[in-house]
Amino acid sequence: MHIGFIGLGHLGKAIATRLLDCSHTLTVWNRTPAKAQGMRATVAQSPAAVADCELIFLCMFDSTAVNSVLTGDNGLLSGRIAGKIIVDVSTNHFKNVTAFHELCAKAGCTYLESPVLGSVVPATQGALTVLVSGSEAGFKTVRPVLENIGKHLFYMGEPGQATKMKLINNLALGTFMATLAEALVMAEDCGMDRAEVLDILAAGGGSSLVLNAKKEKLRTGDFSTHFSSALIYKDLHCLQDLAYEQKKTLFTGAVIKELFARTFEQGIAQEDFSAIYKIFKRKN
């Protein structure tokens, strides 16, 4: 299939590369065209030009970026978008995403809110988890393509539900990561070997997908970005808005969000979110 792809950040480029590996052809657009360098893809001059593709993926930092791509100058919805399907794998604000469904419906296209669980490595392996809200018929149409990138697919129906579930998942993700980092630093402060501690945590109470994914980064101190602290901070902020709307107390989520806020203060927010280890390691 000829697929359009907008947004070539760390995750976006990994998903786009996976689609190429699955024999699809791609037309791509990114605000910084150099990010498409080396890809076997046609580079479009604007989001509107990507609308010529039958199926279009979006993978943006936040809802502001998604809205700009959809409605800005030469935006996607100004192109030949009628009858097309947009699959948005961005993690949006739960309020904004319902507006995107409405905008696309008015333009005559189908919008599928499709946030993913997992980062760069599972994306390259086709092992993401994909949550989908929106048209069931649209989901059935694109399911074979989603199966190229996702090992687990969950259709959640009502607009907004997939995004809310992604935010809730990231409560668990951020909490696990912070707890693992704090446990590791405490053990090191007791004079224990870092690699051995990680092995023990993996065999004990720390056993998790999070530790499996980040064990090597914690062992080596290589915090090159797969999923940044800036992104999870943004997601946890959206989760706080959801808790406010539901009139629910958010205990661990509030604390964890503020821990990730410190990565901005320390200048490491663009590093992988496992770099929260440095927050605990740094002596005050």
For the question of residue 281 being annotated catalytic, the response is: no
| CA distances for 175 relative to 191, 231, 236, angstroms | 25, 14, 10
Question: Residues 49, 27: contact at Cβ < 8 Å?
Answer: yes
Catalytic residue among 35, 164, 166, 217: 166
CA-CA distances (angstroms) from residue 34 to 29, 52, 122, 156?
10, 22, 24, 36
Write phi, then psi, for 162 (nearest 5 degrees).
-65, -40
Active site residues: 166
